Structure 1
Amino acid sequence: MRAHARWRRRRPLRTRLALACTAAVAVVALGISAAAFSIVRYELNHQLDQHLTQQATLVQQQHRDQGPQVVYGECNYLAAPACAQIVSADPGKPPNEPYLLPVTQTTRQVANRQRAGYFTDLTIGGHPARMLTTPMIAAPPGARQAVQVALRADSVQEGVRQAGALMAAVAAAGLLLAAVLGRTVARTALAPVARLTRTAEQIADTRDAGLRIDLPPGRREDELTRLAGSFNTMLGELEQSVAAQRRLVADASHELRTPLTALRTNAELLSRADRLTEGQRERAAAALHRQLREVTGLVNDLIELARDEEPQPLLEQVAVGRLVGHCVDTARGHWPAIAFTLDDDADSYADGAAGHGAAERTVPGVPARLARLVSNLLDNAAKFSPPGATVEVRLTAGLELTVRDHGPGIAPEDLPYVFDRFYRASAARALPGSGLGLAMARQIAHAHGATLTAEAAPGGGALFRLRLPG
C-alpha cells in the first residue's frame, strides 16, 4: 500500500489521469467482450441442448413399447444423426447389443425416477460430444427406463473458440483504443492546468505578475477553465497588490526624504552648537523635536496602513455614542479656533426602538482604532475649516456618522482620490500633514465592516459619511 502511494505521488497528474481513463475504458471493453463471449457460448450450447431434447422426445415417441436397446448406432460422424439408446433401471435386463454410450449408476437412478435428467460432456471415438440422459416417460407397463441421446459437439466447440478469438481481438482493440482515449482525455482535460503551471513557473522565474493564462474564446465554463480564470483573477489582484506596495514604498520614500533632510541639517547644526547663540540653539532643538515627531507619526501611520485587519483578541463591544463624544471633546482641545457641534439623535431614537438611543448602541471593534478613525475625520475637517468656522458632527440612530465642515470643499476631480495614500489635493499641499489620515480612516472602516464615503456638502464644504454595521 505504501509503495503504491509513493508511486502515485511520483507520477504526474496527467499520467495518473490517463491511466485512470485507460483502466476505466479497458474494464468496460473487457466486460463487454466477456459478456458477449458468455452469451455466444450459452446460445450455442443451448441450441445443442434443445436439439438433444427434441431427439430424446422423438425416441420416446417411436420406441415407447420396447425394452432396453441401442436405437441409433454410430456417433463418430459429425453429420450423422444423434445416437440414442434406451437403458433399463434393472442392470439385469441387457440390451439387444452392447451400449454405445456410457451407462453409470446415475443413469440407473434417472431410469428409476430417483433423480432428474441431466446433460453430460463426454468423448466418443476421440471426438467431443454432449449427451442428454432423461427418464423414459412412455415406458412399457411396470418398466422403468431412461433415454440417452448424444450428438457430436465439434461444431459447437469450434464456434465457441471462434467467438473467443473474436472477443479477444475486440478486447485487445478496446485496450488500444482505451490507451489512446485516456491519453487524449488527459491532455485535453489538463490543458488549462498545464497552461496554469507554465504561467506560474514563468512568473516565478521572471517575477512578472502581469502574465496571464491564455483562455480560448467561447470556452465552456467547466471546472478547469474556471480554475484558470480564477487564477487570472488572482494574478490581477496580485499585480495590483505588488503595484500598491511599490507605490507605497515610493510615496513613503518621497515623503520621508524632506523631513529626514531637515533632521540631518538640524543635527549637523546642533553638532556645532558652540558657534550658535542661545536662541539659535533653542530654535534648532525645537525644529529637531518637531521633525522627529513628524517622522515618528509618519512611520506609525505607515505601520498602521500596512495592517489589513484588526487583531481579533482586541475586539470588544464599543459604545459608539460615548466614543464619538470623547473624540469631539478631544478635537475641541486640539483645535480651539474651531467650533464642534454634536448631535447623536438619542432622544428621537429612544421613542422607537426599545428605549436605546444611538449613544447606547454598541458595535464590535477595537476602541483605539475606531477612535483613530473618528479623530482623523475631525482633524481633517478642522484643518480645512477657516478660524471660527463650525464642524458639524451627527450620529444617527442607524449608526451613521456624518462630519461636515464649511471649508473650500473637495473639487470634483479630487473626489475619487481623497482616500488614496499620500494623495493631497492642490488646496491641501500648503497645509501640514502627510496625506495618510483619510487612507487610514478608510482602512479602519473597512476592517470593521463599515463604509466611509466623501461628498460635496450642500452649500459648500465637505461631508464625510461613515456607516457602521448593525
Structure 2
Amino acid sequence: MSLRSRFALAFAAVGAVVAVTVGALSYLTASDRVFAEVDRTLRSTTVALTRGMEKRQEQSQEQAPGAGLAARSPAPFPGLDLPAPEGGEEGQPVLQAVARDGMPIRLSGPLEKLPVSDAARALAASGRAGQSVTTEIDAGGHSYRLLTTALGESRGALQVAVQVDQTRHVLAGMARQIAVVTVAVMLVAAAAGRLLAGRITRRLARLAEVAEAVSTDGRVTYDATQPVGGRDEVGRLSTSFNRMLGRIVAAREAQERLVHDAAHELRTPLTSLLANATVLHRVTELSPGSRDRLLHDVQDETRELAHLVDELVELALAGGHEETEEPVELAEVARRAARRVYRRTGRLVHVDADGCVVRGSSQGLERAVGNLLENAAKFDTDGGEPIEVHIRRGAVTVRDRGPGIAAEDTSRVFDRFYRADSARGLPGSGLGLAIVHDIAEAHGGAVSAGTRPGGGAAVGFTVSRSRLLPACGPRTKAAATD
C-alpha cells in the first residue's frame, strides 16, 4: 500500500472515530433530555392527580363528619370523579390506579388497561408515599413511558403513561442523520487526507526518484533552481537532500578536475622518465659526463614525481580527513613550521604573533603555515632577510622579499596545479597553496595573496572568528634557527 493511501485511510479512520464519538454523545444527550422532559410531565401529572384526590377526600369528610372513607364509597379510590376519555388522541396521558391487591382501575386515557408489573404491585401494597418507578411498555400497538407512584399507607398506587412513538421516531431520524453525517465526514476526511498526502509525498517521490537514479547508475542530476518549499520536516528533508546533492555534484566535479589536472601534471615527469629509460638502453655508449647527467635527471624527475604524488595524497585527504579539533596556539604552530623550514632550507623565519588560541586541527594549521613558508623560501632566493610570519586575531600572513605576485596572478595562485610564468622553472607542483586554501576553508576562513610593501609577496589565510578562543596571551616575537 502506498504512503498516499495510508494517509487517506488514517484520515478517514480519525474522521470516523471523531464523528461517531460526537454523534453518539449528541444522540445520548438529546435522548436523555427528551425523556427527562417526558418524566417531568409524568411527575407533574401524578402530583396534580394526587392533590385532586386529597382535596376530594377532604370535601367528602366535611360533608359526612365521623363517617369512614370505606363507609362512604365502595370504590378503592373514592372521590375520583374523572371525565371519560374522548378518544385515543395522540399525546393524551393514560391514568390508572392500582389497588392494594394489585387490581388495575382505569381512570382516564385512550387505553382500557395498562399492564401491571410485579414492581408496580409491590409499590401499591407496601411502597412509601412518593416512591416511584419508571418503565417503558408496549400496549395497544404503541410505546408508552409509564410512571408508577406509591400513595403510601397501603392506599395503592397511581400510574401515568404517555405515548412516546413520536419521540422514538424523532430520535431514530436523528440517529439516521448522525450516521449520514458520519459517513460524509469519513469521506471528506479521506479525500482531504489523500490530497494532503499527495502534496507531502510528491516531494518525497522526487527524492526517491533521484536516490534510485543515483543508486542505479551512479549519475547525479541536480537542479539547484528547482523550488523546494515548505518549513515542515519534509521541506527540511528536501532542502537538506538538495544541499547534499549539490555537495556530491561539486565533489564529483572537483574529483574529475583533480584527476584531469593530476594526469596532466604526471604526464610531464613520466614522459621524461620514459625518455631517459630509453636512453639507458644505450648507457654503455654514453660518456661518463652524459651518464652522470642522465642519472641526475632520473633522480630529479623521480623525486619530483614522488613529491607530486605526496601532495596529491595530501590534497585528497585535506578535505575529507577528519582530524580531532582542539585548542591550537597559532604562534606555537608557526614556530614548529618555521623550525622545519629552517632545517630544510636554512632560511631564518621571524614570527610575530599575538598569542591567540583557536579551535581547530593542529596538524592541518601547521601544514598550511609550512606550505606558505616553503613557498616563500622557494621564491625569495636572496636569503638576506628572514621570512616574516605575522599573526593577529586568527589571521596568518607570510611575507617574503622575492619577486612578488603579478596582479593577474593573485586570483589564481590558490588554484590546483596553477603556476605563474615566473614559477615554471622552479621546483614544485602547484598544489602547496591549493592545500592552504582547503585547510583555511575547513576552518571557516579564507585565503589572500598580494604584494608586500617594499617588494615581495604577502600570502596568508584566516580562521573564522567563531573559532577564536578567549585564551589569548601577549604578543610574542621569535626567530626560528633550530
Normalised by the size of structure 2, how large is the TM-score?
0.78
Moved more, 19-28 or 257-266: 19-28
Cα distance change of structure 1 residues 324 and 172 upon mapping to structure 2, 3 Å threshold? closer
The alpha carbon displacement at 1:213 in A equals 7.5
Distance in 2, Cα, partners of 1:75 & 1:36: 38
Aligned: 1:324 with 2:334: yes
Deviations 1:271-322 (A, max 9, x none): 3323323332222222112211111111111111111255547x77766545
Aligned: 1:224 with 2:234: yes
The amino acid of 1:163's aligned partner reads M
2:158 to 147, 153, 164: 147
Distance in 2, Cα, partners of 1:156 & 1:145: 30
The amino acid of 2:20's aligned partner reads L
Are the equivalent residues in 1 in contact too, given 2:358–2:394 (CA < 8 A)? no
Cα distance change of structure 1 residues 169 and 397 upon mapping to structure 2, 3 Å threshold? closer
Q: Alignment partner of 2:388: what SS?
A: strand
Are the equivalent residues in 1 in contact too, given 2:222–2:249 (CA < 8 A)? no
Moved more, 375-384 or 275-284: 275-284
Matches within 5 A, 1:34-433: 34-64=24-54, 65=56, 68-69=76-77, 77=88, 79=90, 81-87=92-98, 90-91=100-101, 100-105=114-119, 108-109=122-123, 112-113=127-128, 116-136=131-151, 144-204=155-215, 207-212=218-223, 215=226, 221-307=231-317, 308-312=319-323, 320-336=330-346, 340-344=348-352, 358=355, 365-367=361-363, 369-396=364-391, 398=393, 400-433=395-428
2:430 to 435, 448, 465: 435
Distance in 1, Cα, partners of 2:461 & 2:278: 46
The amino acid of 2:426's aligned partner reads L
Structure number with larger C-alpha Rg: 2
**Structure 1 unmatched ranges of 5 or more:** 1-10, 350-357
Q: Alignment partner of 2:206: what SS?
A: helix
Q: Alignment partner of 2:411: what SS?
A: helix
Cα distance change of structure 1 residues 131 and 467 upon mapping to structure 2, 3 Å threshold? same
Distance in 2, Cα, partners of 1:126 & 1:25: 40
Distance in 1, Cα, partners of 2:175 & 2:105: 42
Distance in 2, Cα, partners of 1:324 & 1:232: 40
Moved more, 428-437 or 450-459: 450-459
Normalised by the size of structure 1, how large is the TM-score?
0.79
The amino acid of 1:129's aligned partner reads Y
Are the equivalent residues in 2 in contact too, given 1:309–1:447 (CA < 8 A)? no
Deviations 1:5-25 (A, max 9, x none): xxxxxx332222222222222
Are the equivalent residues in 2 in contact too, given 1:203–1:211 (CA < 8 A)? no
Distance in 1, Cα, partners of 2:407 & 2:52: 116
Distance in 2, Cα, partners of 1:75 & 1:135: 27
In the alignment, what sits opposite 2:480?
none
Distance in 2, Cα, partners of 1:246 & 1:213: 20
Are the equivalent residues in 1 in contact too, given 2:372–2:398 (CA < 8 A)? yes
**Structure 2 unmatched ranges of 5 or more:** 58-74, 470-482
Q: How many pairs does the alignment contain?
A: 438
In the alignment, what sits opposite 1:13?
3
The alpha carbon displacement at 1:74 in A equals 7.9
The amino acid of 1:45's aligned partner reads F
The alpha carbon displacement at 1:252 in A equals 0.4
Are the equivalent residues in 1 in contact too, given 2:123–2:156 (CA < 8 A)? no
The amino acid of 1:255's aligned partner reads E
The amino acid of 1:57's aligned partner reads V
* Percent of paired sites with the same residue: 34
Alpha carbon RMSD of aligned pairs, Å? Answer: 3.6
Are the equivalent residues in 1 in contact too, given 2:326–2:360 (CA < 8 A)? yes
